[in-house]
Amino acid sequence: MIPQDDRGLLLGDGLFETILAEDGGLEFWDEHMARMARGCGVIGLAPPDAELARGAALSALEAAGLASACAVVRVTLTAGSGRGLERRPDDRPRLVVTASPYQRPSGPARLSTSDVRRNEGSPASRLKALSYLDNVLARREAVVRGADEALMLNTRGELACAAASNLFWIAGDQLFTPALECGVLDGIMRAQTMSAATELGAQARETRAGADVLKSAQAVFLTNSLMGVRAVCEIDGRPLGGHQLLDAIAGRRRRGAVGR
Amino acid sequence: MIPQDDRGLLLGDGLFETILAEDGGLEFWDEHMARMARGCGVIGLAPPDAELARGAALSALEAAGLASACAVVRVTLTAGSGRGLERRPDDRPRLVVTASPYQRPSGPARLSTSDVRRNEGSPASRLKALSYLDNVLARREAVVRGADEALMLNTRGELACAAASNLFWIAGDQLFTPALECGVLDGIMRAQTMSAATELGAQARETRAGADVLKSAQAVFLTNSLMGVRAVCEIDGRPLGGHQLLDAIAGRRRRGAVGR
């Protein structure tokens, strides 16, 4: 339980990470904690002690009977207790670490372009912030439309991401992903995917592009820390194919060369 | 205390209202509850029972020893318990009602134009949503710059609001306020102020305008349910004067003709 005056609850004032745990191993733990620390710098919170958080994560897995399972550990850091828009100098961040079972989504994703735009004009759009309602609304809208996930543009109409993953596409046999300045989370699997592409001799390009570029894309896929790489089979009802580069990246992930 | 799996905490998935209570009277209670119900329609939550919430508000005031004081009642509605981006069909919203002392800010406000933009591309920008981090960051930046409050533009560069209030300005002896489509909360004191202006023979115009219009404004002021009307004396270090229309609106508020 957390207090009713927690600023995470009252104002979405805080950050989180969701970490894949397999058989008790915390995938990319250091990367997740480093990202949270960078985010703390942006929003002005003291970062959590990574070792204390790791202990809490392992305890949470144990307590939930998930130490030998596929699970998701969520590390939530709030700005602590306090009322009003302004934090008090003596507010201390609150760390909440939980574990739940995780099941990867099966099959490729059908996307629906969302009416909810990413706010590239706020630093929060590049952070995993507790103020996540835009993503909730985008996903909700996608599901209502019979899709699995939302394709989100920013307010300039540029491609940004999905509601809970980063976006990649292959066009002219080249790999592309929206630049962070488009209002995009600096995804850990996004970075891993870009590294994997480089190792495969296919440099990924960060770019600013309108949604139209996906109409001529050879393949589109999503990445995040939990599911790894997931192909997109459809956008707004229009079918999409595969590509050997997507297969190669997903294959590396399956063999443990990406995402371990 | 609230559970750790509350979606308000985890994802900013919910809405709130802050209501001025004076001597146990809940100002604009019906308007606040009607706005929350409209917001619930937008984000897909069942609205709270207004009578149950009123009872909780009066109990909270009593319990906090604020039944005869100037206080703020906060009504928080979250999407209930649940993990993952998607709400489950059986999720039930959670209502949290608290009371705290309130003291009106003294004197006029100094504004600083924020680098954090309002996302007019999301319905959440027109709601009092728990995902409030942009406002927290904007206020924080303003205070660091030595100001009292942030002046927020939307991503198109249009005037929107302050971090915790609506914006009005007087130019050519006419009253203006940003249109809701600029990414603006449908403020209860905003509506009251527009009505008051009409009664004073000075129709308020909802408009889309860039920040430059404030450079030739005769007066600028802020409104919200708690503080009522607050003059702005400075924007980014540039001093601003008063205006008889602002005095007349603020005077009506003080006499109880606005805001009761």
Residue-wise pLDDT tens digits, A191-207 = 999 999 999 999 899 99
CA distance A203 to chain B (A): 32
Q: B130: which 2 tokens?
A: 């728990």
Q: Report the alpha-carbon distance of residue A258 to residue A187 in Å, rounded.
A: 14
Residues of A in contact with B87 (CB under 8 A): 136, 140
Q: Give the three-class secondary structure for B133.
A: helix
Q: Report the alpha-carbon distance of residue B72 to residue B21 in Å, rounded.
A: 6
Provide ipTM, 2 decimals: 0.95
Of A15-24, A45-54, B83-92, B99-108, least confident by mean pLDDT is B83-92
Q: Which of B113, B114, B133, B140 to mutate to test the interface with A (most CBs of A within 10 A)?
A: B133
**Do B177 and B206 contact (CB within 8 A), yes or no?**
yes
In A79-202, DSSP assigns E strands to: 94-101, 109-113, 149-153, 159-162, 166-171, 174-178
**pLDDT tens for chain B, residues 1 to 260:** 999 999 999 999 999 999 999 998 999 999 999 999 999 999 999 999 999 999 999 999 999 999 999 999 999 999 999 989 999 888 899 999 999 999 999 899 999 999 999 999 999 999 999 999 999 999 999 999 999 999 999 999 999 999 999 999 999 989 999 999 999 999 999 999 999 999 999 989 999 999 999 999 999 999 999 999 999 999 999 999 999 999 999 988 766 544 43
Q: B42: which 2 tokens?
A: 């937008």
CA distance A255 to chain B (A): 27
pLDDT > 70? residue A77: yes
Q: Which of B83, B103, B131 to mutate to test the interface with A (most CBs of A within 10 A)?
A: B131
Cβ–Cβ below 8 Å for B121 and A122: no
Residues of B in contact with A156 (CB under 8 A): 155
**Do B200 and B249 contact (CB within 8 A), yes or no?**
yes
Residue with tokens 């699997």: A189
pLDDT > 50? residue A260: no
CA distance A202 to chain B (A): 32
Cβ–Cβ below 8 Å for A122 and B116: yes
Residues of B in contact with A124 (CB under 8 A): 116, 133-134, 137
Average pLDDT over residues A30-36: 98
Residues of A in contact with B1 (CB under 8 A): 1-4
Cβ–Cβ below 8 Å for B87 and A123: no
Of A118-122, A247-251, B123-127, least confident by mean pLDDT is A247-251
Q: Which residue on chain A is closest to B80 by alpha carbon?
A: A9
Q: Which of A133, A144, A148, A227 to mutate to test the interface with B (most CBs of B within 10 A)?
A: A133
Cβ–Cβ below 8 Å for A124 and B140: no
| Sequence letter at residue A249 | I
What does residue A233 show for φ and ψ, rounded to 5 degrees?
A: -105, -10
Residues of B in contact with A154 (CB under 8 A): 121
pLDDT digits (tens, 9 = 90+) for A140-181: 999 999 999 999 999 999 999 999 999 999 999 899 999 999
